[in-house]
Amino acid sequence: MIECIVCHRRYDADQSAGACSSCTLLTRGCGKVKCPYCGYENQRPLKDAALQLKQRWKEFLHGPRR
């Protein structure tokens, strides 16, 4: 669970996917998750960021997952 530092509401990182779907950044995994309630971009929890980095490293070494 992530707690937004602006509105203090709690949400799952999965809930932020809908809020981030309109993002114009072309880079994957910017390290932030957007609060679905107020829209503030909070920093992704360190555990999630580490898992995402590990997955990107695997894709770099072995190609994208099919």
Q: Is the pLDDT of residue 28 over 60?
A: no
User: Per-domain residue ranges for the chain?
Assistant: 2-62
Higher pLDDT, 48 or 33: 33
* C-alpha dist (Å) from residue 56 to 8, 27, 48, 51, 53: 30, 12, 12, 9, 5
CB 11 within 8 A of CB 2: yes
Rounded to an integer, the average pLDDT of 5-17 is 84
Q: Is the pLDDT of residue 34 over 90?
A: no
39 vs 1: CA distance, rounded Å: 16
